[in-house]
Chain A
Amino acid sequence: MYDIGTLYQAETVEHACRLLLEHPEAQVLAGGSDVLVQIREGRRAGKDFVDIYMLDELRGVSIDDEENIRIGSLTSFSHITKDPIIQKYINVLGEAVDMVGGPQIRAIGTIGGNTCNGVTSADSASTLMAWDAVMEVTGTEGVRRVPIKDWYIKAKQVDLRAGEIQTAILIPKESYENCFGHYIKYSMRNALDIATTGCSVNVRLSDDKSTFERVRIGYGVASPVPVRAPSAEEFINGKEITGENIKLFSEMVLEDINPRDSWRAGRALRRHISVVMADRAIRECVRLAGGEVHE
């Protein structure tokens, strides 16, 4: 039995936006895997909700006219993992969201919810950072696009304005073309857990596979919101694929991240693991890209 005030059932995206404007206190309910827990805990007890879960137009993965990969915001984690477009172009995202919770959570949880709740530990977030995803947001005024670097305002707050919902996540072609990625989730057990820290790397090698043409690295739980490590990226881009360069790259991420110290995990542990993850993830990307690390 859940303590819910009023539940407004949205019939279309436009209807959902209107409901949110009419009921400014109401919150969006998608899969509910976070929201129902928070209602039970009392944090959202008695609140009103606009339920968008029935909006099927927000489900599915496609390639749009601009050759972006377009992931509808209500697409479930298990759908993403099994989707052929994802598997072909950005398999790492399917792998990352396959580490969320357990099978039941992955069947109900949505990538939109994962990114709109603004939490740094979201398993999809570091990969979306490393792939420079673009959030498509729809309101009564129309559609706008928000690059992911501008999406996270602070912990638990994203760039969604009154009457807006996120309708899709776009992965630009230049992020996925000839790119190889690897995500490492570091958690205290191998299922049913939230990341203690996590790292996703996106690598494009030069045509002769001798140098890193472009490397992007995203982190979750390394700062209050998901972040990239620009200093490390800048260092490695154009460099030869050597063990020494990878070591320097990995240690350089510490210049860009700022993990917290809490009873869940110490800052020092998170910093240490961040370096190890960078090293291992970039090496795996090189392997996937058909390159070789010269030690």
Chain B
Amino acid sequence: MAAKYIGQGVNRLDAHDKAIGRIKYTDDMCDKGALIIRVLHSTVANGIVKKIDTTEAEKIPGVVRVFTCFDLEEKHYYPTAGHPWSTDPAHQDIADRLIMTDHPLFYGDDIGAVVAEDEVAAARAIRALEKSVEYEELPFVLDAQEAMKEGAPLLHEKFPGNVLAHTEIHQGNVAEAIKEPGLTKVEGWYETQPVQHCHIENFICFAYGEGDRITIVTSTQIPHIVRRVIGQATGMDWGKFRVIKPYVGGGFGNKQDVLYEPLCAWICMQLGGRLVKLDVPREETFICNRIRHAIKYHITSWMRPDGTFAARTIKAWCNNGAYSSHGHAIAAKGLNAFPQLYPCDNIDGETWTVYTNRSVAGAMRGYGMPQASYAFECHAEDCARAMKMDPLEFRRQNLMPVGYYHAFSKNELYTDTFNQCFDKGAEIIGYYDKVKKYANQTGDIRRGIAVSTFWYNTAVYPIALETSSCRLVMNQDGSVQFQLGETEIGQGADTAAAQMIADTLGIPLDMVHPVSCQDTDITPFGTGVYASRGTYTLGFSVKQTALLLKQKVLEAAHQFTRMPVFNLDLVDGEIIRTTDGRKLMTIGELALEKLYTTDGSQHLTAESTYQIKSNAYSFGCCFAEVEVDIPMCRVRLLNIVNVHDCGQVINPTLAAGQVHGGQSMAIGYALSEKLLWDEKTGRPLNNNLLDYKMSSFMDHPRLNAAFVENYEPTSAYGTKGLGEPPACPVAPAIRNAIGAATGLYINELPLSPHTLFREFTDAGLINDSFAEEKKEG
């Protein structure tokens, strides 16, 4: 198997159709006659719905039906996380959602729905209904640590203190270790903010009846999981539902949750299977889908004079919002990474996932690691500074060493990835020269450069099931269609899979066609795409299935050429006799003959499932160079370089695209994005793309992506995760660069003008002749 396509930056297979606007997304597939659903959301942060008067809404022309929480006769609580199901009840996700609830737990919770003939009538009905809901308002709590205090409003009775889960890690003996003479104690609080995914295509789905079943077309990462959860939410057999996933305009983890598919399916059933569409407006996407967890950390390290760690502790409080969604998985991931990234013999750690009356936090690119990386890498910088060590050398000395083995996940660091990435990044950005050049600056405008790294792994083994299935079907001309449970959501999974199939099977890439649209009636079972696993996991089933098909092809070739199978190969679409290299027939000739032969006709197909029992570290780093305009309280990002070791790069163009996207997302995370709620009412304040300051193209420098390619030995094609890692190290690199420029190392996000103004004022960096006024700011 020569690698002809793997490693090449071939055009993504859907590029042309996307460029000319021919690709069909969910909304494009919906018949224009669909009835329109709008969801009625709570306008209190915690309360009991006493009554909803639907009279006025029902009078509005074009309104077909109004549903309220009181219409839900059977209460089927369901989980929403896009996790593989576990048949062990102890490992199942918390089922705490209802399709509509009479006890809204956050501003924006779902308490009813309107069905109308068009968007205008639906919007009018929602405005009328909002005025006619009677609530018994209850006290609410927005902050995780406040929610844990005695007397705080309790969201879910089964979870005293609002603690969804609390876990600890211990190794060695911290109490003893810190008695070692000569230690320097470094301590810090680090706080990250809630943000939203802001994928271009908002969540949307539509449903219609066919026979005695309901079909749901939805913009999701996880069609097979969606089918299961609709079954759970409606109390019906899972096979009663068919879920179809067209092209998706971005998911970033928000669509790794089941969002409004159960409500849409339920309404469709109430209306006798009529076509209904639920297209979530951007304002609701911000607060009624999922958001990134805000996490607060306290980290302490005791450093020896040589800059090594004697002992370390970490505590983290993770604000989960009003419902479980992904539960404790996000907080736990960060906690488990802590002792791995900077190993130390003596570590104590604990973390809490806490319910609050805010929008529900769930999966978002990085799954807790952008937050944890911020805390870890701010703290690493603080430790290096305390020990007066160069921050990069400090990391080289203390990071996970080559050969490190993690017993639980069985992950191993096989190569000197960290140093290779640092060396490459430092060279590209000119790190060492700029550190010298920017030392000891004065004046209003100053520059700084810094580095940060992160911990990541690829897939979800051994925490959850890893399974991948692939089907290959050969056409008369020898071209193939492939189907996978791993969904194309813009990341390029189809293209990467096609490159693998072309190489393994031995046919030209243009003869490999994705069936991009997953359909639970047709597509082999798979759990979708999440974590950073797609290219890694699909590789196993793709390789296994392509080899199965190749064996069938070679057996057919034997039939037509009389040559022994072990002397045959399929190379670049030709059947080759390996002993002399002679081309015996083309794959097209073979496929046609095999299908139409009157002696043993066969449809050449292969299908197989591979259960993956491995995982792989995926590391890298980010260098950031900034210019800080101190009087203007502004940061300009001048230069950013991410270097990643994702093993064998399947497609360098698409891989660079992944890195650029992650950097872009993280630039907003670092400098401008933050969801806000009114402390007095619990009402979201900035749930729109104007007031929520997602970074724009004009806020980006040129984005630089580079790779170190250490072939991953556990992987079918040497590849490992790249989807999420690029978003992890950027914010701390920017924070550390601002620190290098100004001497101020700020422990919260975002590093917006609001934050910088406060910090610069407190530090006396900006003219304080109007200090009296400024204190309020």
Contact = CB atoms under 8 A, between A and B. Distances in A.
B124 A272 contact: no
19 contacts: A3-B124, A42-B127, A45-B123, A45-B124, A45-B127, A102-B696, A190-B698, A191-B697, A263-B685, A265-B754, A268-B770, A268-B773, A269-B774, A271-B770, A271-B774, A272-B774, A273-B753, A275-B770, A276-B632
A288 B165 CA distance: 63
Contacts of A188: 672, 693, 752-753
Tier of interface size on chain B: 35 or more
Interface in A31-77: 42, 45-46
Q: Which 9 A-B pairs have the closest CB atoms?
A: A268-B777, A266-B777, A190-B698, A191-B698, A268-B774, A191-B696, A269-B777, A1-B119, A188-B693
Given A188-B693, A268-B757, A269-B633, 17 more contacts: A1-B119, A1-B120, A188-B753, A189-B696, A190-B696, A191-B696, A191-B699, A192-B696, A263-B686, A264-B691, A266-B777, A268-B776, A269-B774, A269-B777, A271-B773, A271-B774, A272-B774
B contact patch SS: loop
B699 A190 contact: yes
A267 interface: yes
A263 B681 CA distance: 14
A22 interface: no
Interface string B691-722: 10111111100000000000000000000000
Given A251-B769, A267-B776, A272-B777, A189 B127 contact: no
A194 B696 contact: no
B775 interface: yes
Contacts, number: 88
Given A188-B752, A261-B776, A3 B631 contact: no
Contacts of B694: 189
B766 A272 contact: yes
Contacts of A1: 118-120
Given A266-B777, A273-B633, A189 B123 contact: no
A269 B753 contact: yes
A133 B752 CA distance: 35
Residue of B120, B127, B761 contacting most chain A CB atoms (<10 Å): B120
Interface string B666-705: 0000001000101000000110011101111111000000
Contacts of A261: 776
A244 interface: no
Contacts of A272: 633, 757, 761, 766, 770, 774, 777
Interface in A167-207: 186, 188-194, 196
Contacts of A289: none
Nearest to B634: A186
Nearest to A42: B127
Interface string B241-259: 0000000000000000000
Nearest to A1: B119
A241 to B, nearest CB: 20
Contact of A269 (B689, B697, B754): B754
Contacts of B774: 268-269, 271-272
A3 to B, nearest CB: 4
A193 B690 contact: yes
Given A189-B699, A191-B698, A267 B777 contact: yes
Nearest to A46: B124
A254 interface: yes
A18 B755 CA distance: 52
A186 B754 CA distance: 12
Contacts of A196: 753
Contacts of A192: 689-690, 696
A271 B124 CA distance: 41
B632 A273 contact: yes
Contacts of B632: 186, 273, 276
A265 B631 CA distance: 16
Contacts of A276: 631-632
Contacts of A189: 672, 693-696, 698-699
Contacts of A266: 754, 757, 776-777
Nearest to A271: B773
Nearest to B760: A272
Most chain B beta carbons < 10 A, residue from A45, A194, A254, A276: A276
Nearest to A186: B632
A225 B9 CA distance: 54
Nearest to B696: A191
B776 A194 contact: no
Nearest to A274: B770
Contacts of B672: 188-189
A276 B765 CA distance: 14
